[in-house]
Structure formats: C-alpha cells, structure tokens
C-alpha cells in the first residue's frame, strides 16, 4: 500500500505533527512498542520516523519496523537512511526495497561512524548531500511508483554540529543538502527556542526555503536529560530550566512534570511563531507525548495544525 508523499502531507495538514521511533533491540521492547502503537495512532500524527543506527547497525530492525507499520496502516512511516560506511550499491538496494513496499518518504542522513569502524574512506558518501543526490537520481529513474519518487527530508542542527564547529561552513552544508533536492528539514532536538529562532532566520538569509520542522524531546528524568545531551552534543539547557529541575532533583515525579511543562511552553511558543511542524522524539514511549497534547488542549494533531 502506497502512502502519501510529504508534499501531499504538508498540503493536507498545513503544519505537520510527527513522532520518532527507534527499532526495538529485544522482543520485550518490541512487544512494549506494539502495545503503544494504537495510543500513538490515536493522536493522528502526520507521519512517524524510524531511526537507523550508525553505519546501518540497525538496518534489518529498521526495515522490519517500517514495513510492519506500513502493513498495519495505522501510522505513515518515514524511515531514516544513513549513508556512512555504505556503498552506493547498499543504498540502491535499500531504495529499491522501500520503493517496492510503497514507502513514500525518507529522512536522508550522513549518520555517525560506528565505534568499531576506523576508516571513513570505506564509504561512498562523505556528506548527506551526496546521499540526497543519489536519492534524487533514483527518483528520476522512475523506479518509484509515485512519479515524484521519494520525498526527502534532511537534518538541521540549530545549535551546530559537533563535527563542524564553524557555523558558516555548517550552514553551507545544510544549503548543499537543500540544493541537492531535500523537500524538508527536521531539526535535532533543542531546549532553548531562542537558538531555533535565530538559526531559522540564518537559514532564510542563506536562501533555504524548504519547510523546517522543530524537534522536541521532553525531559522525563535527569537520566533522560543526560541522554539528550549525548544525542545532541552541544545542546544548551537554559539556566531557568536547570534551576527548576535542581529544586526538585530528588522527586522523580516533579522532574517529569517540569520537563513536560517546559516542552509544552516550547510547543506553544513554536506554534505562536508559525513553525512548519513539530517532531516529537518519543523514545518509543507514548505517556509524555500524550501529556503534552493534553496540556496543549489537543485531542489529536489536527488541533495543532
């Protein structure tokens, strides 16, 4: 069953509301996610993305989850596709498989080098823009059932990327991905909207005119905050947020409430400024996402569009 191209989704929804999953590593984790899928589906997101480990380390599990979501028809899956440590033949195989399955959109990423890998030269791709160009070539070949081919998303980093501390060079890399054919940008998670708004203005100055979807992940514990810091190296946690957390650092329930409330404040601000979309990093757990929706007065994503 073919799903909707991202351009059609954006035309339908105006503002996209989306979730991110990661492929479960164990049967227990897979069963837990399975029980939550209907809870996520009840929120009616525009789409859900599925991560792909560095160097393709979760390749088989990513494909399995994407195709299961596709077959169930509850949620529209957008698989991540990383190119680090991959050959063009590897990527062509993945594109052909997803095209046959009727997957309509991909998030094209460079990805991280696996810890055990040492030689970057083993890959056919040095930058995400190279992967975007390859996907565009595939689209132009007519191998996808949709004449437009795959919709292509790419990543944006409002607080910079650790591999490219020079922000001017970093913006050039983002512009190269868009110029290569990206349809939209989903940002890395951030906790300070000021960084996002300034970065979005700099994107406009650079001539980047595709929709930019803001990535949000609520703090549900101090351990989660540390994980967020690892996921988004260089991420800033505002002093105001840290003070709130420190006042209740021995109370897990209060920490979770503070984190969810902060995410709600972020979302309200983003909605007020007319953001093109909000992407929730869920860690495969529906509770925090549902609580954010409730605090925003939304029964489904349609109430936020």
The secondary structure of 83-152 as a DSSP string is -TT--HHHHHHHHHHHHHHT--EEEEE--PPPTT---GGGSS-SSHHHHHHHHHHHHHTT-SSSTT--EE
**Cβ atoms 109, 157 nearer than 8 A:** no
Query: For residue 154, what are the β-bridge partners?
Result: 185
Phi-psi map region of 182: left, alpha, beta (phi>0 left; psi -120 to 50 alpha): beta
Which of 130, 229, 162 has the alpha carbon at shortest distance from 189? 229
20 labelled catalytic: yes
Which of 90, 178, 189 has the alpha carbon at shortest distance from 136? 178
- The catalytic residue among 20, 122, 159, 204 is 20
Report the catalytic residues. Answer: 20
């Amino acid at each position: 069953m073919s799903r909707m191209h991202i351009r059609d989704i954006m035309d339908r929804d105006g503002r996209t509301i989306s979730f991110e999953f990661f492929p479960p590593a164990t049967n227990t984790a897979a069963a837990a996610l399975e029980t939550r899928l209907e809870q996520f589906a009840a929120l009616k997101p525009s789409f859900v993305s599925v991560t792909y480990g560095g160097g393709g380390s979760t390749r088989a599990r990513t494909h399995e989850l994407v195709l299961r979501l596709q077959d169930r028809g509850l949620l529209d899956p957008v698989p991540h596709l990383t190119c680090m440590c991959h050959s063009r033949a590897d990527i062509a195989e993945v594109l052909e498989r997803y095209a046959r399955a009727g997957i309509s959109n991909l998030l094209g990423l460079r990805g991280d080098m696996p810890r055990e890998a040492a030689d970057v030269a083993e890959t056919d791709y040095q930058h995400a823009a190279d992967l975007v160009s390859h996907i565009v070539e595939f689209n132009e070949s007519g191998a996808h059932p949709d004449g437009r081919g795959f919709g292509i998303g790419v990543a944006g980093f409002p607080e910079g990327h650790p591999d490219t501390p020079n922000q001017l060079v970093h913006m050039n890399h983002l512009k190269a991905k868009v110029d290569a054919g990206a349809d939209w940008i989903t940002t890395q998670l951030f906790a300070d909207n000021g960084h996002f708004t300034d970065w979005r203005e700099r994107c406009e100055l650079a001539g980047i005119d595709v929709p930019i979807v803001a990535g949000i992940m609520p703090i549900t514990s101090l351990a989660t905050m540390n994980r967020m810091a690892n996921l988004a190296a260089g991420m800033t946690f505002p002093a105001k947020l840290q003070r709130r957390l420190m006042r209740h650092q021995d109370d897990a329930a209060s920490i979770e409430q503070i984190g969810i409330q902060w995410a709600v404040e972020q979302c309200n601000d983003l909605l007020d400024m007319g953001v093109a979309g909000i992407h929730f990093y869920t860690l495969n757990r529906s509770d925090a996402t549902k609580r954010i929706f409730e605090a925003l007065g939304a029964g489904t994503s349609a109430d936020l569009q």
